[in-house]
């Protein structure tokens, strides 16, 4: 997280308020959009949608995206990478199943990620956004698992590539 923080940049539009970061790569679903609106209103949060062409945040760059990920009150997404950055930044997040026409599900790597870190409860189930978004994440345990995975990866690389 500290390495990514070095390259992040606050968007010029950001006024410092609390917000939900909405980041959907798949097709929009009216039910989740209604639930997000309701959740935002109940929690006095604005919604920053960086994918919608109607959003003033539509043309932000990667540096601004990193800032928004790190500072969101909650991230609601169908993106694997948005989940990864939420985990690295220890942010609350909710995963929505991606809906795409003419494509297979992109959910298997998100399933693997959630299973690996025991975060299966981060999945959105219609009508449960309040419960899912409001459930705390045990980032102490998540970080322990992350450290084990990093060490295993380093050992694997040293074994098969060498320490040169």
Beta bridge partners of 76: 22, 94
Q: How far apart are CA 38 and CA 34, in angstroms?
A: 6
The pair of three-digit structure tokens given for residue 65, joined into one six-digit string = 């995206």
Long-range contacts, stretch 10-17, CB < 8 angstroms, 24+ apart: 10/64, 10/67, 11/57, 11/60, 11/64, 11/67, 11/68, 13/56, 13/57, 14/67, 14/68, 17/46
**Alpha helices for 6-105 (secondary structure H):** 30-42, 62-71, 80-88
- Output the pLDDT for position 127: 65
Q: What's the angle, vertex CA 88, arms to CA 86 and CA 92, rounded to 5?
A: 35
- Output the pLDDT for position 115: 95
Ranges of the chain with pLDDT below 70: 100-107, 126-127, 163-164
What pLDDT, in 10s, does the model give residues 110-131? 999 999 999 999 999 766 788 8
- Output the pLDDT for position 135: 87
- Residue in 21, 142, 26, 19 with CA at minimum distance from that of residue 79: 26
- Output the pLDDT for position 133: 87
- Output the pLDDT for position 131: 82
- Output the pLDDT for position 105: 57
What are the strands, taking DSSP E only, across the chain?
Answer: 19-23, 46-49, 74-77, 93-95
pTM, two decimal places: 0.89
Contact 74, 94 (CB under 8 A): yes
- Output the pLDDT for position 58: 93
Q: Which domains does the chain have, with CATH numbers?
A: 2-136 (3.40.50)
What pLDDT, in 10s, does the model give residues 52-61? 999 999 999 9
């Amino acid at each position: 997280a500290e390495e990514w923080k070095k390259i992040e940049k606050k968007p010029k539009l950001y006024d410092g308020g609390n917000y939900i970061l909405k980041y959907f790569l798949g097709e929009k679903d009216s039910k989740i959009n209604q639930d997000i609106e309701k959740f935002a209103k109940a929690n006095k949060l604005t919604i920053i949608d960086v994918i919608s062409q109607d959003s003033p945040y539509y043309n932000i760059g990667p540096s601004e995206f990193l800032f928004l990920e790190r500072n969101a009150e909650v991230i609601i997404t169908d993106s694997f990478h948005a989940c990864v950055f939420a985990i690295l930044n220890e942010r609350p997040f909710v995963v929505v199943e991606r809906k795409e026409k003419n494509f297979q599900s992109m959910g298997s790597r998100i399933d693997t990620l959630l299973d690996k870190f025991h975060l299966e409860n981060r999945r959105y189930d219609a009508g449960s956004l309040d419960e899912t978004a409001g459930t705390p994440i045990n980032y102490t345990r998540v970080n322990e698992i992350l450290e084990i995975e990093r060490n295993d990866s380093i050992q694997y690389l040293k074994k098969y590539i060498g320490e040169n």
